Amino acid sequence: MDRGLPDDLTVDAAVALAVRAPSVHNSQPWRWRIGDRTVHLYADPGRHLTETDPDGRDLLMSCGAALHHLRVGFAALGWRAQVHRLPNPAEPDHLAAVELHRHEPAPEEIELAAAIPRRRTDRRRHSSWPVPAEHIELMARRAAHEGTLLRRADGTARYHLARAIFEAARQHAADPAYRTELAAWSGRRASSEGVPSRNAPAPDPTPGALPGRPFADPRLTQPEGARGEDDETVLIVLGTTSDDRMSRLRAGEATSAALLTATALGLASCPLTEPLEIAGTRETVRDKVSEGTYPQMVLRIGWAPINADPLPATPRRDLADVLEPLGLS
């Protein structure tokens, strides 16, 4: 990049943090292009999971999470990101153009950047320790800074959300095309994408336990002594007042902010998009849980059991596969 802007090593370091973002089935549906004075984020339509994500909402959310990871990474490295979202209506896959300015990192930015390599999607049971209300409030404040409302689902709202999760799982189980796509993107052992066997537990047989996706060849064991009936999982819904592409992109940024905050606090976390991938169950969540806002993400938050083994990182594609100079195809 030009003098006065980050050097190539700094850009590579920030993008390497950005691609650690969570994405639907670890599909990593993004491309990055580097201009003389800007970094550009593009959606990769070839990685759109059409059976899981028919309207492309998960794809946009995944890219939004990567965009927030990029902002956090640059901030910790001494550069403030000025983001122009959806800058070119004639090029819908061009999701963001990022200008960079010198910046003194704040402690919060360093903390969130340090959480990026440690964040994992943990699909295992949680412990019986309650999550303090102030932790959820901090996540809500940071999500609000990204233009997204974060609400904890308690009482009747939690009941309706759990029913929507069960119903979505039932409908997906009856859909052969969905099951085929899920199997193709999971159970991998030597791949740079998809959900590896080592990161996926078998379905939890505990009565009343929320269903997880039935990934292929699950090999992640539950911690010894962790019981489903003692699980103090908190369910959180992130919603937006509109449901356009901008709202979905920003909700992805808010998802990143919430997940990195949870990681920095020592919490285990897991995105749950399944009940929002089917129109009927998403409408139920909107009516009964998110108080009229458009639900964009459900998060499962809690404390990992004290004897839970550390989770390995899920694989990522090489930077060379996702990063290129602007103007190349």
Q: Rounded distance, CA 151 to CA 148, Å? A: 10
Q: What share of the chain is helix, strand, coil (3-state, %, to 5)?
A: 40, 20, 40
Within the chain, strands assigned E span: 30-34, 38-43, 79-85, 94-102, 149-152, 186-188, 195-196, 234-240, 268-272, 294-302, 323-325
188 vs 35, which has greater pLDDT?
35
Residue 175: count other Cβ atoms within 10 Å of its Cβ: 15
CA 84 vs CA 2, 6, 65, 80, 158: distances in Å: 20, 18, 15, 13, 36
pLDDT of amino acid 130: 95
* % of residues, the chain, pLDDT over 70: 95
First-to-final CA distance of the chain: 19
* pLDDT, average across residues 320-327: 85
pLDDT of amino acid 152: 97
- Phi/psi-derived region of residue 87, left when phi > 0, alpha when psi is between -120 and 50, beta in every other case: alpha
Helix (H, G, I), strand (E, B) or coil at 247: helix
> Confidence band (pLDDT; 50, 70, 90) for 329?
very low
Q: Rounded distance, CA 145 to CA 71, Å? A: 13
pLDDT of amino acid 225: 66
Whether residue 226 has pLDDT greater than 70? no
326 vs 48, which has greater pLDDT?
48
pLDDT of amino acid 302: 96
Phi, psi (deg, nearest 5) at residue 202 = -70, 155
pLDDT of amino acid 67: 98
Per-residue pLDDT reduced to its tens digit, 243-294: 999 999 999 999 999 999 999 999 999 999 999 999 999 999 999 999 889 9
Per-residue pLDDT reduced to its tens digit, 116-175: 999 999 999 999 999 999 999 999 999 999 999 999 999 999 999 999 999 999 999 999
Spatial contact of 271 and 26, defined as CB atoms under 8 Å apart: no
Per-residue pLDDT reduced to its tens digit, 32-63: 999 888 999 999 999 999 999 999 999 999 99
Spatial contact of 212 and 204, defined as CB atoms under 8 Å apart: yes
* pLDDT, average across residues 300-323: 94
Beta bridge partners of 82: 99
Whether residue 327 has pLDDT greater than 60? no
Q: Rounded distance, CA 120 to CA 314, Å? A: 8
Closest CA relative to residue 121, chosen from 6, 272, 325: 272
Residue 238 tokens, joined:
């992130």
Residue 291 tokens, joined:
């108080």
Beta bridge partners of 234: 301
Q: Rounded distance, CA 188 to CA 257, Å? A: 28
* pLDDT, average across residues 217-238: 83
Q: What is the mean pLDDT of the chain?
A: 94
Residue 155 tokens, joined:
């009482």
Phi, psi (deg, nearest 5) at residue 200 = -120, 120
Element (H, E) at 321: helix 319-322
Residue 46 tokens, joined:
């070839």
Closest CA relative to residue 129, chosen from 226, 255, 270: 226
* % of residues, the chain, pLDDT over 90: 88
Q: Rounded distance, CA 234 to CA 126, Å? A: 10
List domains and CATH numbers for the chain: 8-117+320-325 (3.40.109.10), 133-302 (3.40.109.10)
